[in-house]
Structure 1
Amino acid sequence: MKCIGCQLANKEVEAYVIYEDEWITCILDIDPIQEGHTLILPKKHIEDLRQLNNEPSQAIMNASIKISQALTKRYKPDGITVIQNNGIFNDLNHYHMHVFPRYLEDGFGWTEPNIEQSISLNEVKNKLIQCF
């Protein structure tokens, strides 16, 4: 059985599609943070950001721009938030990007953990560049 993300992206279950192309389908989130909250899902099963290749990633980015423009035109927000969650934070087990309008006093926020960094940014940089 296909995952729910594949079913939504391929219109095999009811979804409120607002845009699609050969690679992706954009649907309204059924539990929106704001009116217009949209999910961008690849039609092919891709579970994680690290599995994306050029065609779907370009289609996802292009769609995020189109959705942002539409949300801005329709809702006149103070800004747009674009979020993508991986690993245990991916509740669909299918890659999806959230795009939604934001307003100055909307209550949505980024909560940072209260930890102190014990390593220098230069050391972090050196650790990461070894991965490329």
Structure 2
Amino acid sequence: MDCLGCRIANGIEANVNVVYENEFVTCVLDIAPFNEGHLLILPKKHYWDLEDINSETSYAIMDASKKLSVVLKVLFEPAGISICQNGGKFNDLTHYHMHLIPRYEGDGFAWSEPFHPHGAEKLLSQTQAKILSIINEH
């Protein structure tokens, strides 16, 4: 199996700290955690991006995120939890994975401003119309 994400999710990769799994997903501690308890949720079947995932697996990912968010809140008492996923060329694992990151005030985790202003905030109604036209086509 060439995909590291597939090897992790299917118990082939060594030295993985699994915290939860079912027939669709495996949840592991991130090896480079932003904060203690930083988790990854990986589907056992190979998917690259969110839109590729079937409904059953999508549900399993969200269900695991709910269960594990409760666990993280009980154990680490964070101020909140950030849930994120990087798709396309930003998917460094080349296998869909969702991050659950316990967060604390002043921990340095940030949603940054764009490096190059693009004015998208001035185009909200036009952007809405574009999105709705594609939704209505499908």
What fraction of aligned residue pairs are identical, expressed as a percent?
49
1:19 aligned counterpart, secondary structure: strand
Match of residue 127 from structure 1: 130
Quote the Cα distance in structure 2 between the aligned partners of 1:116 and 1:42.
Answer: 35
Quote the Cα distance in structure 2 between the aligned partners of 1:81 and 1:42.
Answer: 19
Match of residue 11 from structure 1: 11
Quote the Cα distance in structure 2 between the aligned partners of 1:111 and 1:71.
Answer: 25
* Equivalent pairs, count: 132
Match of residue 100 from structure 1: 101
Match of residue 117 from structure 2: 115
Instruction: Give the TM-score, by structure 1 length.
Output: 0.96
Paired letter, 2:124? L
Match of residue 83 from structure 1: 84
- Given the alignment of the two structures, is residue 61 of structure 1 paired with residue 57 of structure 2, yes or no? no
Quote the Cα distance in structure 2 between the aligned partners of 1:112 and 1:24.
Answer: 33
1:115 aligned counterpart, secondary structure: coil
Structure 1 unaligned residues grouped into runs of 5+: none
Structure 2 unaligned residues grouped into runs of 5+: none
TM-superposed deviation, 1:75: 0.3
Quote the Cα distance in structure 1 between the aligned partners of 2:2 and 2:133.
Answer: 37
TM-superposed deviation, 1:2: 3.1
Q: Deviations over 1:7-52 (max 9, x none)?
A: 0000101210000011000000000000000000000001111101
